[in-house]
């Protein structure tokens, strides 16, 4: 498989015999130093949620169906009014130039070549304008969304939103599950630090928050940092200053999902931050059907966390998701093979999705329902939304 020729990017080949996302992870470990590996692969605390994200998909079984008409099938779907070639997007991951010199630019070219959407991190090490140019240069490209952390300076945040709009981004993805970082033991053991020359380029020029004088016994977290933590009022403010649809990333609780729907957000991403914030938070495969029941088809749902096979994608769609986001595996492909590695990861996952659809008797995504899942706890789960409604 080849990717769109890009003279400015380093040329790499995916090693022969690379047959799965797990192979890409193994190859990436050989390329990344302990510092980068701790950042990209690690989770919070004992990494219970990190492990559960993957194992939860494994524990859901699929029901094969036979003798169904499958000719002419496809993976197309519609999301936020746009037709996508398949329901796989690249999740926002910071500092990708730490994995490979081409960083987010390589991911963008791979996403464009494979028709995948891309969500660019606020903490990208490549400017949104360059990423947008790479995505928009291919007519088959999926959408470009900009992930946003609300900053303590609203004026700076507004300028960042305007910058994303001007670059041609299709939506904003507000991360709401990280008012503080998790206790990332693996990073602390590795003494994690950003390498020289790599930074969050979108945050250049942001002044530090005003210092708060703490009295003896006060908490630097609750009495300091969390004074700037976003609230539901900030979601409404963000909606008021942008013309772009706003999705919330990091929703796991049904009550939060209902409140978000009541505010008229454009979509929700069921996510536990890849197991990097609150350890022992529920796996996203467990949270997704509860969120789907809560919103009853009022808005599209996406999900990330532990997706490693096309069967996982199919299970997510059967549980009520409109699409999935892929995080670590894309970075693993990037680390050892640049744009070609990311493209290969996306191709593998889409091919596996098509195989899983065929073997469960689903020629199109509209036919994917909870009936595919052999899981008694889900027998009463009947999401109202049909695939492609959004």
Whether 339 contacts 138, CB under 8 Å: no
How many domains does one find in the chain?
A: 1
Asked, for residue 20, whether it belongs to a domain, the answer is: no
Tokens of 131: 């990423």
Using alpha carbons, select from 388, 374, 350, 378 the residue that is nearest to residue 62.
374
Whether 71 maps to a domain, the answer reads yes
In a domain, 168, yes or no: yes
CB 277 within 8 A of CB 252: no
pLDDT digit string, tens, across residues 355-373: 999 999 999 999 999 999 9
Q: Which pLDDT value is given to residue 380? A: 44
Structure tokens at 45: 């605390």
Tell how strand 82-84 and strand 77-79 pair up: antiparallel
Measured distance CA(222)–CA(125) in Å, rounded: 30
Q: Distance between alpha carbon 307 and the CA centroid of its chain, in Å?
A: 10
Domain range enclosing 81: 33-192+230-378
Res. 388: pLDDT tops 50: no
Is 286 among the residues known to form the active site?
no
Q: Are 80 and 267 in contact (CB under 8 A)?
A: yes
Per-residue pLDDT tens for 230-282?
A: 899 999 999 999 999 999 999 999 999 999 999 999 999 999 999 999 999 99
Residue 212 is assigned to a structural domain of this protein: no
322 contacts 302 by C-beta, under 8 angstroms: yes
CA distance 74 to 71: 9
Whether 242 maps to a domain, the answer reads yes
- pLDDT for the residue numbered 377: 47
Please indicate, yes or no, if residue 204 is contained in any of the structural domains: no
> Do the domain assignments include residue 99?
yes
**pLDDT the model gives residue 172:** 98
Q: Which of 24, 86, 202, 273 is catalytic?
A: 273
Taking only the tens place, the pLDDT of each residue in 116-148 is 999 999 999 999 999 999 998 888 899 999 999
pLDDT of residue 178: 84
In this structure, is residue 219 part of a structural domain? no
pTM over 0.85: yes
Output the domain CATH number for residue 338: 3.20.20.70
């Amino acid at each position: 498989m080849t990717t769109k020729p890009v003279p400015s990017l380093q040329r790499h080949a995916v090693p022969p015999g690379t047959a799965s996302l797990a192979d890409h992870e193994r190859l990436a470990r050989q390329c990344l130093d302990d510092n980068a590996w701790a950042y990209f692969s690690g989770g919070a605390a004992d990494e219970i949620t990190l492990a559960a994200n993957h194992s939860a998909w494994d524990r859901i079984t699929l029901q094969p169906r036979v003798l169904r008409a499958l000719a002419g099938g496809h993976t197309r779907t519609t999301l936020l009014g746009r037709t996508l070639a398949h329901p796989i997007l690249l999740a926002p991951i910071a500092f990708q130039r730490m994995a490979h010199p081409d960083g987010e630019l390589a991911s963008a070219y791979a996403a464009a070549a494979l028709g995948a959407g891309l969500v660019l991190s606020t903490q990208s090490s490549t400017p949104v304008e360059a990423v947008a140019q790479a995505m928009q240069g291919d007519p088959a490209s999926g959408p470009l969304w900009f992930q946003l952390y609300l900053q303590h300076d609203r004026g700076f945040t507004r300028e960042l939103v305007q910058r994303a709009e001007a670059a041609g981004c299709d939506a904003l993805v507000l991360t709401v599950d990280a008012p503080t970082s998790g206790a990332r033991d693996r990073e602390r053991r590795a003494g994690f630090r950003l390498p020289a020359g790599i930074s969050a380029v979108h945050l250049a020029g942001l002044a530090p928050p005003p210092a708060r004088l703490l009295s003896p016994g006060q908490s630097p977290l609750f009495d300091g940092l969390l004074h700037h933590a976003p609230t539901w009022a900030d979601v409404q403010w963000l909606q008021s200053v942008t013309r772009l649809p706003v999705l919330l990333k990091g929703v796991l609780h049904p009550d939060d999902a209902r409140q978000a729907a009541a505010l008229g957000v454009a979509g929700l991403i069921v996510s536990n931050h890849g197991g990097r914030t609150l350890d022992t938070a529920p796996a996203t495969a467990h949270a997704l059907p509860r969120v789907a029941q809560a919103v009853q088809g009022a808005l599209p749902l996406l999900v990330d966390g532990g997706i490693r096979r096309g069967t996982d994608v199919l299970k997510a769609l059967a549980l009520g998701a409109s699409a999935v986001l892929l995080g670590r595996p894309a970075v693993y492909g990037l680390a050892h093979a640049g744009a070609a590695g990311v493209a290969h990861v996306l191709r593998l996952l889409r091919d596996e999705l098509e195989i899983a659809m065929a073997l469960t008797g689903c020629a199109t995504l509209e036919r994917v329902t909870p009936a595919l899942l052999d899981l008694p706890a889900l027998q009463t789960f009947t999401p109202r939304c049909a695939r492609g409604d959004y």
